[in-house]
Amino acid sequence: MSSARVFSVANQKGGVGKTSSVIQLASGLARRGETVLMIDGDPQGNLSLFFGASTPKDFSQLLPALARGEAVQLKEYIHRRVRRNLDILPVNNKNLKNEIPDTIIHEAGKIFVTFINSMKEKYQWIIMDSSPSNSPLERILVQSSDAVIIPLEFQLFSVSGLESILEEVNMCSTRTGRDIQVHSLIFTKAENRLNRVKTYRDVFSSFKIPVYEICKSEYIARSLEKSRTIWECGPASYAARDYQRILDKGFPVPV
């Protein structure tokens, strides 16, 4: 996965830790000294809210502008340095999906891929948050990615949900003619004391995808409440250790 630089964090189920994963991974990479752009592709805007991001124009205005073939002035869309080395393209329009027709999103799709490719000249990593659904909006995020990160929980329903996501990634690969890989499964809120966890580990290991676990931690909840990353709120915590393991193994330093 050393060539993957653009990641979408996706799962059709809500509450599995997508936004939290974007926050901790992106801020961890920036803390390592690398330049990172986060894109808030979830109309709920929780990623933007966490970082207090506000720009003259946002993600919901970017897509129609791209579909119309307009030139995009990045300074209008990107909130720079929400943390050192860390920028964000926020979203503030919670009605994005209702106000922008699917046809516009489809038209913006291919151009959005070109837009993301142009961002590779400015950032070493791009990480995109997505909403818990399966709509054209989520598809263009996956289609513009090099790889997909899938946060999950150790639950029975996660198995069928994972199968659906993998099918969607395969379809996006086919549509784009690009090999969009599944980078990893990240199990948030992992609890070793539960007897069923070993069974779930065995089940998910059969998918032959790298698996990481983030221990259930009060530091995660506390960091989100205070709009502080795990590195700011609990750098010595087990949760920070678990996220650091993902960074060390799954995100090699760009050459």
59 three-state secondary structure: helix
Q: What share of the chain has pLDDT > 70, as a percent?
A: 96
Both tokens assigned to 34: 């690398």
Strand pairing report for 86-89 and 79-83: antiparallel
Domains of the chain, by residue range, sit at 6-250
Q: Each residue of 16-57: pLDDT tens digit?
A: 899 999 999 999 999 999 999 999 999 999 999 999 999 999
Please tell me which of 27-36, 88-97, 179-188 the model is most confident about, judged by mean pLDDT: 27-36
Is residue 2 pLDDT above 60, yes or no?
no
Q: What is the mean pLDDT of residues 70-96?
A: 94
Bridge partners, residue 6, by sequence: 126
pLDDT confidence of residue 195: 66
Q: Does domain 6-250 have CATH number 3.30.450.80?
A: no
Q: What is the mean pLDDT of residues 76-103?
A: 93
User: How buried is residue 54: exposed, middle or buried, by Cβ count under 10 Å (0-12/13-18/19+)?
Assistant: exposed
Is residue 194 pLDDT above 70, yes or no?
no
Closest CA to 203 of 160, 249, 245: 160
Which residues, in sequence order, are CB contacts of 171 under 8 Å at separation 6+?
none
pLDDT confidence of residue 156: 66
Is residue 154 pLDDT above 80, yes or no?
no
Q: pLDDT band at 192, cuts 50/70/90? A: low
Strand pairing report for 6-9 and 125-130: parallel
**DSSP states of 120-145:** TTT-SEEEEEE-SS-SHHHHHHHHT-
Given a contact cutoff of 8 angstroms between Cβ atoms, the answer to whether 30 and 83 are in contact is yes
Q: Each residue of 226-237: pLDDT tens digit?
A: 999 999 999 999
